[in-house]
Amino acid sequence: MKKFYITTSIAYTNAFPHIGFALESLQADVLARYHRLLNEDVFFLTGTDEHGLKIKKTAREKGRDVKEFVDEIAQKFKELKKVLNLSNDGFIRTSDRKVHWPVVQEVWLKLKKKGDIYKKKYQGLYCIGCESFITKKDLINGKCPIHKTKPEMIKEENYFFRLSKYSEKLFKIIDSEKIKIIPKKRKNEVLSFIKKGLEDISFSRPKSHLDWGIPVPDDESQTIYVWLDALSNYISALGYPKSKDFKKYWPADVHCIGKDILKFHALYWPAILLSLELKLPKRIFVHGFITVGSQKMSKSLGNIINPFELVEKYGTDAVRYYLLREIPSAEDGDFTYQKFEERYNSDLASGIGNLAARIRTMADKKIKERKLKDKISSQDLIAEIRKTEKRYKEAIKEFKFNEALKAVWELIAFSNKYIDQERPWEDGDEKLKVKNHKVISDLVLALGKISRLLNPFLPETSEKIKSQIERDKKTGEFRYPKIASLFPRL
């Protein structure tokens, strides 16, 4: 079997999950489920990033023990699997001393042996939000462009990684798309960053400043820099360097990440892998941010959208649909409850929900013998399905999840119009009955194809539709069990 290894970034455990990380998890889940349908051997990894100064600071501000604090938040991220119906195969925690820590320390020693880690005194600007040193040329109006805060001037002795050594190689790798960055504008961002000149990066902090992290293996006065720690999760979760899983699944086929951590994944991580002489990830897919009513989500504004509460109110597949359909896959997108409910009523209740109910009801009433044809006879419907399947596959290949769903919903709209046009509910002579039988048979088979297309996106809905038009394995007859409406109108 062809293998497919996909990862999300690991969630930072300084706060409970919000819909920004839910979006990333769902995008990765769609790809994992889609590649399983292609009969590939899929490994889907997610997890939590639990070290760093920001986490320790947040825990202290809340009067909490740091370990208890991250345990509680990590558990909430684990619970997303059930709440969002995710299909991840692995969940890695960077606080795992048995699985993760030994790998990070082994990676450190290998980088040092290669001559790519050295110690020096350094004075520079440090952004706590980024958990990294940044240069003046990175600042906008004296502030971090991502966190909009002024970095601290810090003077200390740290270990550094020779990122500059790999500048030329990294440019060729990104430019030639040996690592393909999607969308293309993110690739151009990385190339522009390299052209400005890469500087060596701090890979540790003094333990006196940061003791919440993995100790440097040959210098206990230092703690390993959070980004080396975090990025190594992609191989530690597979049991690097000798396990069967590592040999089977590495390199990653896709890293799904947010645009704020592109630099770390497109520059730092490949440079580490080059130093380790490991294969490079094949693709990095970069999504944007979700705003709420056109404002950035923040605790101070009180507009954090909790995925648990959203699912409890509207249902898992409704949340999956909105985030995957309304938010442009690789761009920023906006969330409001008004937009959510409009999408729900128009696309889910009046769209797929209405179509499934109409087809099931007509089949139950009009096809008394419960027997349907094996193939669709309407050439118009066949052509529409083929067009949809082609657009759907192309959209997923290009990571345009919203476009894939748009194609499916155009098929749903076509099917609803086809019912209105053919009016198969009408009574009449034998000739009309034969014609209606054919139309309803076509619609049941079309609904089955729609169900399969929905499987990676709305798995629960896909299974419910499938159960509505079950074929008896022995007789070949269809059954139409009565079930609750897929999406009751709000």
pLDDT reading at 79 higher than 70 = yes
Greater pLDDT, 144 or 259 = 259
> How confident is the prediction for the chain on average, in pLDDT?
93
Residues 362 and 480: their CA atoms lie apart, in Å, by: 10
Q: How far is CA 276 from the centre of its chain?
A: 27
> Tell me, what's the pLDDT at 135?
78
Residue whose C-alpha is closest to residue 181's, from 260, 278, 266, 269: 266
Q: Which helix (H) or strand (E) holds 229?
A: helix 226-231
Greater pLDDT, 261 or 298 = 261
Which residues are CB-contacts of 211 (< 8 A; sequence separation ≥ 6)?
223
In a domain, 361, yes or no: yes
What count of residues does the chain have? 490
pLDDT reading at 471 higher than 90 = no
Q: How many domains does the chain have?
A: 1
In a domain, 342, yes or no: no
Q: Are 453 and 388 in contact (CB under 8 A)?
A: yes
pLDDT reading at 349 higher than 60 = yes
- The first and second tokens of residue 442, run together, are 């076509």
Average pLDDT for 128-137: 75
> Tell me, what's the pLDDT at 149?
83
pLDDT digits (tens, 9 = 90+) for 136-183: 777 888 888 776 788 888 888 999 999 999 999 999 999 999 999 999
> Tell me, what's the pLDDT at 300?
64
> Tell me, what's the pLDDT at 123?
80
In a domain, 39, yes or no: no
Q: Are 293 and 338 in contact (CB under 8 A)?
A: no
In a domain, 460, yes or no: yes
> Tell me, what's the pLDDT at 12?
93
Residues 458 and 337: their CA atoms lie apart, in Å, by: 20
Residues 110 and 100: their CA atoms lie apart, in Å, by: 16
pLDDT digits (tens, 9 = 90+) for 414-466: 999 999 999 998 888 889 988 988 999 899 999 999 999 999 999 999 999 99
Which residues span the domain enclosing 369? 351-479
In a domain, 386, yes or no: yes
In a domain, 459, yes or no: yes
Q: Crossing angle, helix 430-454 and helix 401-422, to 10 degrees?
A: 170
> Tell me, what's the pLDDT at 153?
84
In a domain, 103, yes or no: no
pLDDT digits (tens, 9 = 90+) for 194-228: 999 999 999 999 999 889 999 999 999 999 988 89
Percent of the chain residues topping a pLDDT of 70: 96
pLDDT digits (tens, 9 = 90+) for 286-312: 999 999 988 888 766 778 899 999 999
Does 251 sit behind a cis peptide bond, omega within 30 degrees of 0 on the bond before it? yes
In a domain, 436, yes or no: yes
Q: How many CA atoms lie within 13 A of 448 on its CB side?
A: 17
> Tell me, what's the pLDDT at 476?
64
Residue whose C-alpha is closest to residue 11's, from 64, 88, 65: 88
- The first and second tokens of residue 205, run together, are 């902090």
> Tell me, what's the pLDDT at 299?
67
- pTM equals 0.93
pLDDT category, 384, cuts 50, 70, 90? very high
Q: Which CATH number goes with the domain that contains 384? A: 1.10.730.10
